[in-house]
Structure 1
């Protein structure tokens, strides 16, 4: 081939190349327009579970001492599934996907969780970090301190088993064993548990704690001490922020001699109020009384208390306890937190009381500790052995928890049943007084419209020898050992009837009534209300009301004659005040 033919050949080759290129281009267009076959199977992408070594100042091996480990020193850093781990030195076991970390061990997971310790072993397959010595787990504002902690990254739970302390919002929790879940933000503490803050201390066996709401749930025998109050519970919730407690399973609250027990108890420390439901027993060990009901509440700040739903008050200050039932009891405290404090107890409706030696019924009752007076309203009746006392209002005054005197106001009637159960000694008057010494009556006074039926007794056989009927304006009876010793009256009209010649209409006074069927027979009977039979209730007596004071009407000289007449009417009190003013106040 000559040199002259070379360009021809090259030119001809260029033609051939252009044709081939055009053919390939056409084929590419056809291939691009042809539908491709879909792949029938595809391997799933496997999650990368490897622990990565990010940095170490020095890396070396020691096939004699630890042939399976890479020995790392200086600013060691690992990364594993969103967590970063740092330490001073480490043994990296690449085959088992784990490492041991030494010195200033730190683990960071996101921006809310960090773990610090002196030593740690990390298993990448199990995602378990086992930290030891001076361990601190920080999660948001909560810090867990311990010497041994296993943190499970799969379940976001740290377990400690050689004693631990959790500090959260001013609360410090300690126990021998426990766990903390960073996802639910809840902790469980077991064995020798103690929760402490500035206002309270909780001790127990098992405690569940929610760091979001600062709510503690005590399980098993537990005590909560706050100031002078103590709460014992085996199933209770306590909110340390709100200072509120919900207690179940017959929990007990005590404070300076007072104790409240119930199926469920709710306590608000800030408001100072407590409510109890179901078989509630409120006991005042200082004053020796109890308040029982299916619902009770108490306010520490005001001293107000209430009990209802099968409510019962018990006074055990004496040898024999007094039991009293009413639909509702209310206690009001006056001058609280002072030396002059006193209380009023209101009981209503359908009040029934029982003690071995005295029983009573009425519609409502008020007890005032200021003068130790118990006032009974609306058809009150009091029984003492074989004696019955009734009236419109009965006031009973106590001294050293023992009856001192009694005052019966309006339609007063005293009835004593004789030993033969047929004859009755009776006294009726507008009002009566009875005076007691060591619980025994020694004097009885009757005033205004006094009517008396009295049966003398034959000392030989204790039978009635006749009937004495008396009418007088006032009478005093003196007794000794419950027997009549002397009677005093200013003026009396009396008639003596032999036992065989008593007129039928003289056997009973016009107001006589014997309500033995109403009387409580034991402490359980106080819950069984039995009212008086129809027609035996006390009659309503309308009494004169005090005259209303007439006020001067404005108008001066233009007042009419009727207004002038009303203006001239002056009460005795006003007249006395005018005389005092006219005399210069002397």
Structure 2
């Protein structure tokens, strides 16, 4: 008795099948050129259909050249020119199809397998498509392409209904404006939002973003980063514990351990919060704000409630250290944009040759001036200067001239620890190449106290002079010569006649204890410099020959004889 029953049917394709029913449970054969029906002893019917095969299930059509259809398990195997059409939105093509009708899972494989909807195409050599949920999965390397982006990864999911894709391992998203690489990415084709939860790099013509957790709008360039992130471009580097950035308008906001590095003028801003506006060339940092600016092999440290770095619009670019002296006239490709560095409220400044406390401060790199506002006090060496406002002029990045305006007071401590003093409405102080006080010019209600000493540095007495205008010349912190304009009113007091009250002009206040140090500035901002890397010295190889000789010498060394007791 035969175990199988074979029935071969050759039939014309039906002119029309039953009406489409979205809720039908069984896979329905719409047509084929030939059908071979195999019946197993248990009654299971296996159909082999050949040429121009069409199946339908749950409203989806499946095409192939040859198919094996298990009627009982509601599954089929399809080979050759496989195509699935689901509604008018999704089409899947490949070489081989395994379809499980009860779960509606389609496994398509081939040299090139594609899943297309209206706006994107997924390509791989294997795609598993859950027709019930509309989710496609490729377990091997695949690619998703739409009008703006090409996205590749080792594994990926695509939800044809929500248009949300999830990609894993060696993920790369390429757009004409940027390239994004990561290890895990969730991408919404409708909102154009890319969400990542692993180390990610976004590279564009405007710079590079390094992040671990965030969202990126691939259309507008707007982004939100939830962990420590760095944005790096040719002009600056912005880093923060969390960060948002608008690439179109070139605006960034950072929060937590913010660091903004201006590459053109070697300026670093640190703080709790930071803002950057690339179009206007403005940066703002506040909350434990600190700036470090390199000035002629020295670093200017400054803290304030708020720090600003503002590009001076319309000004000619300045040469960088790498550029030649004539770079402004010849080529600005290696030139830096002149900027204003502003400290607002509670300013402390430290530079090796200059320290200050003031309400606000403006450093202008275009003319190398520092303006101190609202009753500032400045120390330079053994000099102390106060006024309602002060302007410091730097030449070759060294302090050369100081302009004190209104209620000006200059104190210079000499080698005998006496205080030479000058006060007036306006004072201009000149410094030599070593930043030592060289000359002081006083205009309006000038008063001075200066101590005289001989060549042996022995005190000779003290002078008190009042004059509308006067010029005092200093040498080694001592008044060497004085010139008056108009009739001076003065007196000389010998050493034995100098009283304590005569030694000080009205308003004298030696505030050396308030002079900020580098440590003071850094401590106020809770900034901790990175410790230098300790490089272990390379050990020289030992001379084995010499060691062998030493061992042989020890072996042959004569031991002393012990005397018997």
Q: Normalised by the size of structure 2, how large is the TM-score?
A: 0.77
1:309-346 Cα deviation digits (max 9, x unpaired): 33222213454432212222334333359658533333
Q: 1:162 and 1:92 mapped to 2: Cα distance?
A: 27
SS at match of 1:508: coil
SS at match of 1:500: helix
2:33 alignment counterpart = 57
Given that residues 408 and 431 in structure 1 are in contact (C-alpha distance below 8 angstroms), is that contact kept between their aligned partners in structure 2?
yes
Given that residues 354 and 526 in structure 1 are in contact (C-alpha distance below 8 angstroms), is that contact kept between their aligned partners in structure 2?
no
Choose 468-477 or 79-88, whichever is displaced more.
468-477
Question: Cα offset for 1:203?
Answer: 1.3
1:409-465 Cα deviation digits (max 9, x unpaired): 2222111245676x32212233222334555225222222332222345787x7756
SS at match of 1:505: helix
Q: 1:505 to 1:524 in 2, by over 3 A?
A: closer
SS at match of 2:226: strand
1:446-490 Cα deviation digits (max 9, x unpaired): 222332222345787x775643333442214144xx544842414
SS at match of 2:355: strand
Question: Cα offset for 1:169?
Answer: 3.5
1:396 alignment counterpart = 392
- Give 1:115-264 correspondences, 5 Å limit: 115-133=92-110, 134-264=112-242
Structure 2: state its 5+ residue gaps. 1-22, 319-336, 526-565
Determine if the alignment matches structure 1 residue 487 to structure 2 residue 481.
yes
Question: Cα offset for 1:397?
Answer: 1.7
Given that residues 325 and 527 in structure 1 are in contact (C-alpha distance below 8 angstroms), is that contact kept between their aligned partners in structure 2?
no
Q: 1:463 to 1:353 in 2, by over 3 A?
A: farther
2:273 alignment counterpart = 295
Q: 1:338 and 1:189 mapped to 2: Cα distance?
A: 48
SS at match of 1:388: strand
SS at match of 1:455: strand
Given that residues 329 and 345 in structure 1 are in contact (C-alpha distance below 8 angstroms), is that contact kept between their aligned partners in structure 2?
yes
Given that residues 315 and 338 in structure 2 are in contact (C-alpha distance below 8 angstroms), is that contact kept between their aligned partners in structure 1?
no
SS at match of 2:496: coil
Q: 2:55 and 2:146 mapped to 1: Cα distance?
A: 30
Computing the radius of gyration from Cα coordinates, the structure with the larger value is 1
Q: 2:108 and 2:246 mapped to 1: Cα distance?
A: 41
2:549 alignment counterpart = none
Q: 1:501 to 1:476 in 2, by over 3 A?
A: closer
Question: Cα offset for 1:234?
Answer: 0.8
Q: 1:244 and 1:131 mapped to 2: Cα distance?
A: 37
Q: 1:495 and 1:336 mapped to 2: Cα distance?
A: 54
Q: 1:458 and 1:490 mapped to 2: Cα distance?
A: 22
Higher helix share: 1
Q: 1:201 and 1:404 mapped to 2: Cα distance?
A: 50
Q: 1:516 and 1:478 mapped to 2: Cα distance?
A: 21
Q: 1:106 to 1:351 in 2, by over 3 A?
A: same
Q: 1:521 to 1:372 in 2, by over 3 A?
A: closer
SS at match of 1:141: coil
Structure 1: state its 5+ residue gaps. 1-46, 530-586
Question: Cα offset for 1:511?
Answer: 2.8
1:427 alignment counterpart = 422
2:547 alignment counterpart = none
Given that residues 405 and 426 in structure 2 are in contact (C-alpha distance below 8 angstroms), is that contact kept between their aligned partners in structure 1?
yes
CA RMSD of aligned residues (A): 2.9
SS at match of 1:203: strand
Given that residues 394 and 407 in structure 1 are in contact (C-alpha distance below 8 angstroms), is that contact kept between their aligned partners in structure 2?
yes
Given that residues 287 and 317 in structure 1 are in contact (C-alpha distance below 8 angstroms), is that contact kept between their aligned partners in structure 2?
no
1:70-96 Cα deviation digits (max 9, x unpaired): 322111111222322111222223343
Q: 1:464 and 1:220 mapped to 2: Cα distance?
A: 74
Given that residues 301 and 518 in structure 2 are in contact (C-alpha distance below 8 angstroms), is that contact kept between their aligned partners in structure 1?
no
Q: Identify which of 87, 98, 104 aligns with 1:110.
A: 87
Q: 2:513 and 2:202 mapped to 1: Cα distance?
A: 50
Q: Normalised by the size of structure 1, how large is the TM-score?
A: 0.75
Q: 1:245 to 1:439 in 2, by over 3 A?
A: farther
1:503-550 Cα deviation digits (max 9, x unpaired): 233110113122234332444457869xxxxxxxxxxxxxxxxxxxxx
Question: Cα offset for 1:382?
Answer: 0.5
Question: Cα offset for 1:213?
Answer: 0.1
Q: 2:397 and 2:104 mapped to 1: Cα distance?
A: 72
SS at match of 2:363: strand
2:494 alignment counterpart = 498
Given that residues 398 and 435 in structure 2 are in contact (C-alpha distance below 8 angstroms), is that contact kept between their aligned partners in structure 1?
no
Q: 2:160 and 2:177 mapped to 1: Cα distance?
A: 27
Q: 2:296 and 2:269 mapped to 1: Cα distance?
A: 16
Report how many residues are paired.
477
Question: Cα offset for 1:190?
Answer: 1.6
Given that residues 520 and 526 in structure 1 are in contact (C-alpha distance below 8 angstroms), is that contact kept between their aligned partners in structure 2?
no
2:342 alignment counterpart = 346
Determine if the alignment matches structure 1 residue 77 to structure 2 residue 54.
yes
Q: 1:146 and 1:400 mapped to 2: Cα distance?
A: 64
